[in-house]
Amino acid sequence: MPVKTSRKISTSRKTSSPQRQKLVYSERWDLSHLAEKPVERFEILLGEIEAKVVQFEAARGQLSPTMDTSHFHPLLTLSEDITAASSKIGAYAYLWFSENTKDLAARSFKTKVEERLTALQNRLVFFDLWWQSVDEDNARRLMTGTGTLRYHLETIRRFQPHTLSEPEEKIVNIKNITGRSAIHSLYDVVTNAFTFTLTINGKRKTMTREELTSYLRHGQGRLREDAYRELYRVYADQHDLLGEIYKTLVNDWKAENLQLRRFVSPIATRNLGNDIPDAAVTSLLKVCQKNANIFQDYFRIKARLCKIKPMSRYHIYAPHRTAQKSYRYQDAVRMVLEAYRGFSPRLADLAEQVVHERHIDARARPGKIGGAYCYSVVPNMTPYVLLNFTGEARDIATMAHELGHAVHGMLAEKHSMFTFHSTLPLAETASVFGERILSDALMNQERDKKVRQGLLLNQLDDIYATVLRQSYFVQFENQAHEMIGQGATVKDLAKTYLAEVRQQFGKGIKVSEEFQWEWLTIPHIFASPFYCYAYSFGNLLVLALYRMYQKEGAAFVPKYLELLSTGGSEAPQTILAKVGVDMAAEDFWQSGFDTIREMVDQLELTL
């Protein structure tokens, strides 16, 4: 299943240019492209996959380090076919569940799909284990001519020191469906059923979390404070349940990855999956913490601009004093597509294809899964994008972000099922770049000083939320995993989280007690431990790339599109080295913060 904003998809299907067709602004997606009547035809679809699994199993006796490449390469093609077919039915199950997590039929189907696909996947475990055992010379020989699949094969071998025996791997796979995946689904079901009550203009209104979130950025300070208090009141009321869910997930992560797979630390598991050296992640987090003062200065400047006194954590997302607008969905789509087209017509055409083919589910609804994501399925299918659009300006940025994920994978269509999407840190490159394209386009169109000031505030708010805030989530996770291993309670974790937040904001910005429960509201911390540094990585990388674009102009665009077209077919270090980036160097990450400092200084000059 996908995590928020982490998956992308490419397309090789040829359609007439969306520019020549009337754009349909559908606000619900069409899942029929994934499979024909997948619920009714489930056994037939699974039977087709199983037939290919049986064919793959039959080749087990032929596996040998000295086997001919003419026998080895067809097995890779068959493996791709199995994975693609499984991905389609798995995608349908998760997307249907996302529409309404309270839908009992969708939940039941999702569970059934996961269980059956896991059982089939378990029958293929032998291949990865055999491939990891092949000697280096024969491995190089067999990989000759595999093209875009080569990095996938190298990735399998990268996990060799942490791979268990075949029976153990099968047990872990089964356990993850009935254990980790089930516990995480419970978190989704519980939290997506939460309702919140807020008094607006003297009337009490019940709303979803997505609706409540809009008030965290409301023009009235009292409503911002009330919205935060209500958000954390509801989560705090369930802190025992949610806290135990989190502790269970952390203990499961520890049992599998540290005790069984022998990783040196909880975060090392994520780093290997991302193919990012531990040292690079350590460097990134260190530089983020060192530069917390930049955002402390920013929020003090913002307090003066927005006439907030005293400044507190309640008000960091306070809007500028310019009038707040509500946007129609179709206008938001046009704004994003126009911004993309100003940078690259190719990107705009691909993004428009997602809209035209009705692969976006846009509106917030009760029971719908929160946040936003773009789902990878297969390289020959247009992406599916989930939004929770409420008409705010921020929702337009989210749309630009998710469509960035989509076009990233679509540009990587030439690669295999296993390598067309990037590892997590680079997967955020196109999405964050898309937001920068949108922000820059809006800034260039605007001449009013106050409106430009507001746009700069919005940019810095978003950079804070996606760089510093995300890095502190990971710092908390590092501590939480260690603390839980030592028997910490949920309240111990809350106390530690509050101390981290207060350190992040410094003495000049008050952080109230209820923010100790903020971590319970962050789905990534539950679903994908240590995922969040990908946002810090991606955003700081984009700041550097965008500076290159500003210097080079149109000459930069082909290089950028080529970077995206690489997908996940090479190691992140290799991909970034082509554009002169050393991810392990603190100076590189610092250059991103230097750009942020320039933006803060620019804002201060407008006082």
Q: What proportions of the chain, in percent to the nearest 5, are helix, strand and coil?
A: 70, 5, 30
| Residues 239, 517 contacting (CB under 8 angstroms) | yes
Query: Burial of 323 by CB count in 10 Å (0-12 exposed, 13-18 middle, 19+ buried)?
Result: exposed
- Those residues of the chain that have pLDDT short of 50 are 1-20
Residue 24: per-residue pLDDT: 72
pLDDT digits (tens, 9 = 90+) for 508-542: 999 999 999 999 999 999 999 999 999 999 899 99
Residue 21: per-residue pLDDT: 56
The ranges assigned to domains in the chain are 34-186
* CA atoms of 527 and 391, how far apart (whole Å): 28
Query: Burial of 167 by CB count in 10 Å (0-12 exposed, 13-18 middle, 19+ buried)?
Result: exposed
Rg of the chain taking only CA atoms, in angstroms = 24
pLDDT digits (tens, 9 = 90+) for 36-88: 899 999 999 999 999 999 999 999 999 999 999 999 999 999 999 999 999 99
Q: Which 8-state DSSP code applies to residue 305?
A: H
Q: Which 8-state DSSP code applies to residue 198?
A: E
* CA atoms of 159 and 463, how far apart (whole Å): 34
Is domain 34-186 classified as CATH 1.20.140.70? yes
Closest CA to 492 of 243, 251, 128, 313: 243
Residue 18: per-residue pLDDT: 42
| Token couple for 177 | 């469906």
What is the DSSP track for 360-391?
EEEE--TTSPSS-EEE---TTS--EEEEEE-S
